[in-house]
């Protein structure tokens, strides 16, 4: 069993390198991708039984190259093309370039012509080395839906004329930002879908962390890549305490901090501390810094709120957004009191993105609760509970309303 | 984001449908087929079904542990669920765009409802 698991890990590590090598050599991302998937499947069946070949990457490249030629032939026959192109024995794999291939592949899978859901599916398959079935289970959608998203995404990439190359200096910040966003989405998808049939699900948070680590190896100087990795580690570290035995959501204030993952916190804190000291500052780093302040507090009462407020003030300047404003209001109230917080909340609500948002009601309920206005707090908890789209959140908000009495 | 597009029918819409010529009905089916194919191709479709006639409905009541099925939908219901699309797309705006392609939208019989998920927040 452990052999099969080890093989699976190895295959997923090698998947982007093999695909990168093929696309770089032959072009035609869509056909290469299909060929690599088939080579990975063949290896997943053969290797646990027959042993891992001496040069696993070379083996995969050879099998995938052969399969690519077959696919190419079928395709050519279909189109009645008569050209005879040199299709002899597949060449030996070239050394090096593996690092850049994985990065180039990530950038390609997060191409701006694709929708976010397609970017996520394609990245998980082409870079993550997951099968369509595994992706479908992880995303809680049918396999046919995922297969279609992937095939459509490949068509789009082809139609857009995107090439398998590193983005130019000018394109680079935007393209890397798109990659980070997709990795962030993958992480969140896994972090949020924390209940339900977990048994057979690929752990998407772990997958996002693995891919972000890979990216960081390729871009060690990039502060935002490090920031995102730190944010994921520091958030994921709280997961063991985030849900109670009955599956209900436990808010930060009430979490049993002894259940937090100390190793993850230590790694995240070290990473964000080093990054903030050396790299140009960015939004992921600031969010990671907020997470680090929370994670370092021994109790909720020990939380360094002035520090958190300062970080949210910075975030609001750098990357303003409705959730940033709301979190800032909470930090403000923790320092200046609930009444002052409620005033700030009313001001924040002027943002059209927050008008009628259930989180505004949730924060208002919380602040009214702190201020001792039980009746009004209860009404706003109920309102927020009705409007949320999240089942665990609804459960939590309803139970807060009930706790405030009849 | 997942959304449910609910398609209802009411006495007027049924009357219109029944008054259609074969060609008009074929056109209606073709619009549905095209919508289904487009959504499958874009990877947005999760599942779509048409419901059988309301006369085949059973309303189920459990009293003292005994299950009592009765014929027909809730008595007061005028507008009846006729079919649905379960989709996953990027925004409510996109879901509305899709819903607008359902032929019944002309009669105001199409609803879009967001689906709840398991997301949680850290507060």
Residues of chain B contacting residue A392, judged by C-beta atoms under 8 Å apart: 118-120
* pLDDT of A369 strictly over 90: yes
Edge-to-edge strand list for the sheet holding B2-9: B45-50, B80-88, B2-9, B110-114
Backbone angles phi, psi at A162, to 5 degrees: -60, 140
pLDDT of the residue at A88: 45
- Asked if B43's CB is within 8 angstroms of A242's CB, the reply is no
* Whole-number Å distance between alpha carbons of A186 and A184: 5
pLDDT band with cut points at 50, 70 and 90 for residue A247: confident
CB of A231 closer than 8 Å to CB of A265: no
- Asked if B47's CB is within 8 angstroms of A144's CB, the reply is no
ipTM of the complex model: 0.81
- Asked if B43's CB is within 8 angstroms of A149's CB, the reply is yes
CB of A179 closer than 8 Å to CB of B102: no
pLDDT band with cut points at 50, 70 and 90 for residue B121: low
pTM: predicted TM-score of the whole model, two decimal places? 0.86
- pLDDT greater at residue A159 or residue A2: A159
Distance of CA B54 to the CA centre of its chain: 13
Q: From the list B41, B47, B118, which residue is nearest A196 (CB)? A: B118
Nearest chain A residue (CA) to B121: A393
- Asked if A193's CB is within 8 angstroms of B121's CB, the reply is no
pLDDT of the residue at B123: 39
Query: Average model confidence (pLDDT) for chain A?
Result: 89
Number of cross-chain residue pairs from A and B with Cβ atoms under 8 Å apart: 80
Q: From the list B47, B90, B121, which residue is nearest A115 (CB)? A: B90
Q: From the list A142, A188, A393, which residue is nearest B46 (CB)? A: A142
- pLDDT greater at residue A86 or residue A322: A322
What distance in Å separates residue A350's CA from the closest CA in chain B? 21
Of the candidate CATH numbers 3.40.50.11610, 3.40.50.300, 3.40.710.10, 3.30.70.1060, the domain formed by B2-114 belongs to 3.30.70.1060
Mean local confidence (pLDDT), A12-17? 92
Handedness of CA A311, A312, A316, A322 (dihedral sign): positive
pLDDT of the residue at A94: 53
Q: What b/e string do you get for A323-355 counting C-beta neighbours within 10 Å, with b at 16 or more?
A: ebbbbbbbbbbbeeebeebbebbeebbeeeebe
- Asked if B40's CB is within 8 angstroms of A117's CB, the reply is no
CB of A156 closer than 8 Å to CB of A114: yes
Q: What is the pLDDT of residues A123-170, one digit of tens each?
A: 999 999 999 988 988 888 889 999 999 999 999 999 988 888 888 889
pLDDT band with cut points at 50, 70 and 90 for residue A99: low
What distance in Å separates residue B16's CA from the closest CA in chain A? 34
pLDDT of the residue at A74: 82
CB of A102 closer than 8 Å to CB of A127: yes
Residue ranges per structural domain of chain B = 2-114
What distance in Å separates residue A149's CA from the closest CA in chain B? 4
* pLDDT of A269 strictly over 90: yes
Q: What b/e string do you get for A112-147 counting C-beta neighbours within 10 Å, with b at 16 or more?
A: eebbebbbbbbbbbbbbbbbbebbbbbbbbeeebbb
pLDDT band with cut points at 50, 70 and 90 for residue A59: very high
What distance in Å separates residue B118's CA from the closest CA in chain A? 5
Residues sharing a CB contact under 8 Å with residue B55, sequence separation 6 or more, in sequence order: B71, B72
- Asked if A152's CB is within 8 angstroms of B117's CB, the reply is no
Nearest chain A residue (CA) to B41: A148
Residues of chain B contacting residue A312, judged by C-beta atoms under 8 Å apart: none
- Asked if A390's CB is within 8 angstroms of B45's CB, the reply is no
Say if B75 is an interface residue toward chain A (CB within 8 Å).
no
When mean pLDDT is compared across A167-171, A318-322, B60-64, B74-78, the lowest value belongs to: B74-78
Mean local confidence (pLDDT), B65-81? 87
- Asked if A392's CB is within 8 angstroms of B120's CB, the reply is yes
**DSSP letters of A205-249?**
HHHHHHHHHHHHHH-TT-HHHHHHHHHHHHHHTTHHHHB-TTS-B
Burial of A210 (0-12, 13-18, 19+ CB in 10 A): middle
Q: From the list B45, B90, B118, which residue is nearest A192 (CB)? A: B118
* Whole-number Å distance between alpha carbons of B35 and B29: 10
Most confident of A137-141, A256-260, A385-389: A256-260
CATH entry 1.25.40 includes domain A321-406: yes
Q: What is the pLDDT of residues B23-52, one digit of tens each?
A: 999 999 999 999 999 999 888 999 999 999
Say if B59 is an interface residue toward chain A (CB within 8 Å).
no
* Whole-number Å distance between alpha carbons of A76 and A83: 9
Query: Average model confidence (pLDDT) for chain B?
Result: 91
Residues of A with a Cβ under 8 Å from any B Cβ are 115-118, 121, 141-142, 144-146, 148-150, 152-153, 188, 191-196, 235, 238, 242-243, 249, 251-253, 330, 359, 362, 366, 388-394
Q: What is the pLDDT of residues A193-233, one digit of tens each?
A: 544 444 445 688 899 999 999 999 989 999 999 999 999 99
pLDDT of the residue at A80: 57
What distance in Å separates residue B116's CA from the closest CA in chain A? 4
pLDDT of the residue at A380: 97
- Asked if B121's CB is within 8 angstroms of A393's CB, the reply is yes
* pLDDT of A44 strictly over 70: yes
pLDDT band with cut points at 50, 70 and 90 for residue A234: very high
Of the candidate CATH numbers 2.170.190.11, 1.10.490.10, 1.10.10.10, 3.80.10.10, the domain formed by A99-162+170-192 belongs to 1.10.10.10
**DSSP letters of B8-69?**
EE-HHHHHHHHH--HHHHHHHHHHHHHHHHHHHHHT-EEEEEEPPPGGG-EEEEEETTEEEE
Say if B62 is an interface residue toward chain A (CB within 8 Å).
no
- pLDDT greater at residue B29 or residue B76: B29
Mean local confidence (pLDDT), A285-298? 97
Distances in whole angstroms, Cα of residue B22 to Cα of each of A195, B19, B29, B34: 49, 9, 10, 18
Nearest chain A residue (CA) to B119: A192
Q: From the list A148, A152, A391, which residue is nearest B118 (CB)? A: A391
- Asked if A115's CB is within 8 angstroms of B121's CB, the reply is no
* pLDDT of A83 strictly over 60: no
Q: Widest CA span of chain B, in angstroms? A: 59
């Amino acid at each position: 069993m452990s052999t099969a698991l080890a093989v699976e890990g190895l295959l997923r590590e090698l998947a982007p390198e093999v695909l990168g090598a093929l696309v770089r050599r032959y072009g035609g991302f869509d056909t290469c991708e299909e060929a690599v998937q088939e080579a990975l499947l063949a290896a997943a069946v053969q290797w646990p039984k027959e042993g891992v070949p001496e040069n696993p990457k070379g083996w995969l490249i050879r099998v995938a190259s052969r399969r690519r030629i077959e696919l190419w032939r079928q395709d050519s026959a279909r189109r009645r093309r008569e050209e005879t192109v040199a299709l002899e024995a597949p060449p030996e794999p070239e050394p090096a370039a593996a690092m850049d291939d994985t990065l180039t592949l990530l950038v390609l899978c997060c191409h701006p012509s694709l929708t976010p859901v397609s970017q996520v599916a394609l990245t998980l398959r082409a870079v993550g080395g997951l099968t369509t079935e595994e992706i479908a289970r992880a995303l809680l959608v049918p396999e046919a839906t995922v297969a279609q998203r992937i095939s459509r995404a490949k068509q789009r990439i082809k139609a857009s004329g995107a090439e398998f190359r590193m983005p130019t200096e000018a394109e680079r910040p935007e393209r890397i930002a798109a990659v980070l966003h997709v990795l962030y989405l993958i992480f969140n998808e896994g972090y949020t879908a924390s209940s339900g049939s977990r048994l057979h699900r690929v752990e998407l948070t772990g997958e996002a962390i693995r891919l972000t680590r890979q990216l960081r190896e390729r871009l060690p100087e990039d502060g935002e890549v490090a920031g995102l990795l730190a944010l994921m580690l520091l958030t994921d570290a709280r997961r063991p305490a985030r849900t109670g035995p009955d599956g209900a959501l436990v808010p930060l204030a009430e979490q049993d901090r002894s259940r937090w993952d100390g190793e993850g916190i230590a790694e995240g804190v070290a990473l964000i501390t080093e990054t903030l000291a050396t790299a140009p500052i960015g939004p992921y780093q600031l969010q990671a810094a907020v997470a680090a302040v929370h994670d370092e507090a021994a109790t909720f009462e020990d939380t360094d709120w002035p520090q958190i407020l300062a970080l949210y003030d910075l975030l609001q300047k750098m990357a303003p957004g409705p959730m940033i404003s709301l979190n800032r209001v909470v930090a403000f109230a923790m320092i200046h009191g609930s009444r002052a917080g409620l005033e700030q909340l009313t001001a924040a609500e002027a943002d059209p993105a927050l008008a009628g948002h259930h989180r505004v009601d949730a924060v208002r309920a919380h602040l009214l609760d702190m201020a001792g206005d039980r009746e009004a707090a209860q009404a706003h908890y109920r309102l927020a509970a009705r409007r949320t789209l999240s089942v665990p959140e609804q459960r939590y908000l309803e139970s807060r309303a009930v706790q405030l009495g009849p | 984001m997942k959304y449910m597009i609910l398609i209802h029918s009411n006495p007027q819409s049924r009357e219109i449908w029944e008054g259609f010529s074969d060609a008009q009905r074929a056109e209606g089916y073709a619009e549905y087929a095209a919508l289904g194919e487009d959504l499958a191709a874009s990877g947005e479709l999760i599942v779509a079904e048409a419901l059988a006639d309301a006369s085949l409905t059973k309303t189920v009541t459990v009293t003292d542990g005994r299950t009592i099925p009765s014929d027909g939908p809730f008595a007061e219901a005028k507008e009846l669920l006729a079919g649905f699309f379960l989709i996953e797309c990027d925004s409510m705006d996109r879901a509305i765009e899709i819903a607008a392609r359902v032929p019944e939208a002309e009669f105001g019989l199409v609803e879009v409802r967001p689906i709840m998920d398991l997301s949680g927040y850290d507060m």
